[in-house]
Every structure is written in C-alpha cells, then in structure tokens.
C-alpha cells in the first residue's frame, strides 16, 4: 500500500512573483469588465438583499461592478462632475431611460409611486472616487435621495463627502444618503480621461435594456 504523503503547496517568493506580472490593477479591471458601463455607488441599507444575508455591512457605501460589491465604508469622498435625468425599471430586464420627454420615462416615473414596482427616477450623478481612482455613477432614484440631490448638485465641480442620515417617522425608520462639503485634499482625475467619460455620460442613448441580475437590485428606499 503506498505511503500517504502530505500535499505541499508550492509557492513563489513574493519578490519574484511581483516581477512576473507586467500589468497593474487598472489594466486588470479593464480586462475583466463584462460591459462598457461605469460602476455605481450605492448606500447599502438594511433593505438591501446583500445586507439582509449578512454579506455586506449595513449603511456602508458599496462600489458595485456587475455582482461585485466593494466596501468603501460609512463615508466616501467624491468629486461631483455632472448629472443627467434617469428613470429605471427593474424586472425581467433592466430598463434605463435618460430623456424626460420620452414616454417610457414618464411611464416609469408614474409607476414609481406604486409600492414594490421596481421603478425609480431622479438625477444620476457622475462622480470621481479618489480612494479607488475610479469614475462612478450615483443615482438619486428614491424619494429620500431625491431630496438630497440639490445638495449634491450644489457641489458640482467641487469635493464632497457622502455619508448617511437617520430618518424616523411614525411608521418607518431608515437611513438615507447625505452630502457635506469635503475639506480633505485629494487628487483630481486625469483631464483627458475626464473629458472622455463626461462626453459619454452626457450623451447617453435615450433608452437601454439589460438582462436583470443580482447586481441590478437596489433598495426600494423611501
């Protein structure tokens, strides 16, 4: 009977392994993107499915790429760059509409008043997140976030910090995004890349349709 020998995992010394890879994190992210979409920043509250399942801290901000949720903490410094109107319907497919005069935008906007409709509307901001050196979107599609949107817009082209605010009524208690000016210096994005991203963000198609998945789910916030 052959002698059982322990399996030894061969490891490459770190100094050698590091020299074997010629590309950095930015190239890796670009190579693994599933589509030509910006990630989105979202406040993950107790209503979020990933928070209910204990997979993500409650009231932390997540940078979401496909089905990957990166924890950015309870507060995130951002540069507010631009904004556009957006209506969003989440069902079998995810329908996004960026023209307020479009019949689909108005349909989704009206339907958003229905409970659990999967419909939202409001301003979507283009932001730069210096902590991860990435552009992202931030959608103010709920009633609470729409109320905070003017404060975000007031900080256009300025540094801001997204936090959360506790809200309580006779029937409900929840957390909503909150914004304050940011006094901490941080690096601005590359201007050439900034112009490229802004041009694309400011000129979206009237509507887009994507296959729904877990990453498309969002809080049905008040």
Residue 2 in any domain: the answer is no
Residue 6 in any domain: the answer is no
Residue 214's SS3 state is helix
Residue 186 in any domain: the answer is yes
Residue 101 in any domain: the answer is yes
Q: What is the pLDDT along the chain (222 residues), one digit of tens a residue?
A: 445 555 445 577 766 766 666 666 666 555 555 556 899 999 998 778 888 777 798 899 999 998 899 999 999 999 999 999 999 999 888 999 999 999 999 999 999 999 889 999 999 999 999 999 999 999 999 999 999 999 999 999 999 999 999 888 877 788 899 999 998 899 999 999 999 999 999 999 888 887 665 444 444 445
Residue 207 in any domain: the answer is yes
Cβ–Cβ < 8 Å for 61, 50:
no
Residue 32's SS3 state is helix
Count structural domains, the chain.
1
Residue 1 in any domain: the answer is no
**Host domain of residue 54:** 14-216
Q: What is the pLDDT of residue 221?
A: 45
This prediction has a pTM of 0.80
């Amino acid at each position: 009977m052959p002698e059982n020998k322990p399996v030894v995992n061969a490891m490459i010394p770190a100094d050698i392994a590091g020299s074997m890879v010629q590309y950095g994190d930015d190239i890796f992210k670009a190579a693994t993107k599933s589509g030509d979409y910006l990630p989105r920043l979202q406040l993950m509250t107790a209503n979020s499915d990933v928070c209910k399942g204990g997979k993500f801290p409650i009231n932390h901000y997540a940078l979401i790429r496909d089905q990957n949720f990166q924890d950015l903490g309870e507060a995130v410094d951002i540069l507010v760059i631009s904004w556009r109107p957006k209506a969003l319907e989440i069902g079998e497919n995810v329908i996004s509409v960026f023209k307020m005069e479009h019949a689909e935008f108005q349909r989704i906007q009206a339907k958003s008043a229905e409970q659990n409709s999967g419909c939202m509307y409001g301003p979507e901001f283009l932001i730069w997140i210096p902590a991860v050196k990435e552009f992202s979107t931030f959608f103010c599609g709920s009633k609470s976030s729409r109320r905070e949107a003017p404060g975000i817009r007031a900080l256009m082209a300025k540094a801001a910090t997204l936090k959360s605010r506790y809200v309580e009524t006779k029937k409900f208690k929840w957390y909503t995004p909150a914004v304050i000016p940011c006094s901490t210096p941080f690096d601005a994005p590359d201007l050439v890349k900034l112009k490229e991203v802004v041009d694309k963000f400011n000129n979206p198609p009237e509507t887009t349709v994507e296959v729904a998945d877990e990453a498309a789910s969002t809080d049905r916030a008040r």
